Structure 1
Amino acid sequence: MATSLCILNNDTLDPAAAPTYINYGVMVEKLLRQAGASDWNVEVFDATAQQYPDSFDRFDAVLLTGSKYDSFSDEPWVVELRRRVRTLLTQKKKLVGICFGHQLIAYCMGAKVGRSDKGWGTGRMTYEWKEPGFPGANGRTQVSLLASHQDQVLELPAGARLVATSDFCPVAAYAKGNEVFCVQAHPEFVPDYSSFLIKRRRGSWTDEKVDKALASLEQGHEGDAIARMIIAFVEGRSTAALAQAA
């Protein structure tokens, strides 16, 4: 039976970008299929419109995308999303979080989440990968990804372990047992989309910050590596190390 993934899309894109990229849910699905999940059953739901499946039981995992909103917001749809995520955590449903999703899951696990005192993280950023034995990591000790965030997970959630870190973003990825895997950066981003987001900040950011972020995109990124880890995590491959930490 094919693996079944529920993607909860948590944002609407700028009208100038939407015709090309559609939404974050579609971007994530495209990334995963390119990385090896070609035969998965993937369904995307719009959490911002409080659209959810009748039941999460038929899915092997639920993935939460990024968003421009705060994970700790009082927006009604965010409050409802948190309610559902807390239920899924109680049920030990396998969860994957990206950026906003990474933050919201941590918040639902009781961790502190908020604005970073370091400001915006943007462009290509490199992280220490602390688990070379993580499913699909193939022994890696660092990873470079495209980021766009001003909020961060400010402490490791209870029961979780740190998977990736940097000076700028100390909790850049975390996992808990076989149930939770979250990353702050955006593996689904492509340089052109990151460039679009960065260029919109010219005027509110210094030219130096904008130019440096744009230049970093030329070095490429490893979103496909995170995609392979997500696939291995969801499919439950090589989970011995995860089970020991559960």
Structure 2
Amino acid sequence: MKVCILENDDLHPAAASTYQGYAAMFVRLFRAAGANWEFEVFHTPTQQYPDSFATYDVVVLTGSKADAFSEQPWVVELRKQVTALLAQRKKLLGVCFGHQLIALCLGAKVGRSPNGWGVGRMVYDWRGSALAKGWQDGPLSMLVSHQDQVLELPAGAQLLASNAHCPIAAYAVGEHVFCVQGHPEFVEDYSAFLLAQRKHLLGEDLVARATDSLQHGHDGLQVAQMMVAFAQRVPGCASNSERP
């Protein structure tokens, strides 16, 4: 499979030498989840896009510190590109900002969370067992860092995950859209780095609680395995057969 990663942000310079970039985090994650995929990366803040998406089986939208509803020219262009991909029913995987931007392009409301920042480790009620064999519905944890969220479920979408802080934490649309608010690509050390960087925004108490939550582990690899299973599912095949 050939996968296009739309990289929607840059790492802080202090983290770049360790983690390389958000796209690199996803490449490592998907390979750990068993995906033998070919990846190509495009940096959307500098208006990098492929000449055509036709050769890609899947398009991945990463997170970003930008707002999905921003009127920054690069975000406006990204919404235009994603709207066209949705019309073509291209397989899309969205994470955090990507999750929000896809929902917005589907006509749903996206905005600041009424519950404030979501940071650290969060546990959700997961209802997406059909996306991956061997995974059961029930509690599922992800590392998070967001002040925006999807405020209403897109039309025709299936709700996959929720909790009191973020009622729409994951959703799928048919066999072509799978989005999560959390960051399966994050590792605990990177989450701790972000928390330290944002202490002035979040306050010491919230940062301390969120940092402490990181010691409990998370299910990012399992979410990635579901993404891989979803991406490789043959459209219209009830048995969820996969292709290479």
TM-score class, shorter: over 0.9
The partner residue of 1:21 within 15, 19, 22 is: 19
Cα distance per residue 1:10-32 (max 9 Å; x no partner): 00111111111121111111100
Question: Aligned in 2, Cα 1:134/1:149: closer, same or farther, shift over 3 Å?
Answer: same
- Same amino acid, percent of matched pairs: 55
After TM superposition, what 4+ stretches of structure 1 lie above 4 angstroms from structure 2? Answer: none
Structure 2 residue runs without a partner (length 5+): none
The partner residue of 1:98 within 95, 99, 103 is: 95
Amino acid at match of 1:186: H
Question: Aligned in 2, Cα 1:233/1:137: closer, same or farther, shift over 3 Å?
Answer: farther
The partner residue of 1:66 within 58, 63, 87 is: 63
Contact 2:79–2:101 (8 Å) recurs in 1: yes
* Greater Cα shift, 151-160 or 193-202: 193-202
The partner residue of 1:221 within 210, 218, 225 is: 218
Question: Aligned in 2, Cα 1:32/1:126: closer, same or farther, shift over 3 Å?
Answer: same
The partner residue of 2:50 within 48, 53, 56 is: 53
Distance in 1 separating the partners of 2:239 and 2:147: 32
* Pairwise CA distance, 1:136: 4.2
Normalising by structure 1, we get a TM-score of 0.93
Amino acid at match of 1:129: W
RMSD, matched Cα: 1.5
Amino acid at match of 2:160: V
The partner residue of 1:140 within 103, 122, 137 is: 137
Contact 2:131–2:229 (8 Å) recurs in 1: no
**In structure 1, what is the equivalent of residue 161 of structure 2?**
164
Distance in 1 separating the partners of 2:144 and 2:133: 21
Where does 1:182-197 land on structure 2 (aligned, <5 Å)?
182-197=179-194
Amino acid at match of 2:212: A
Q: Does 1:41 align with 2:35?
A: no
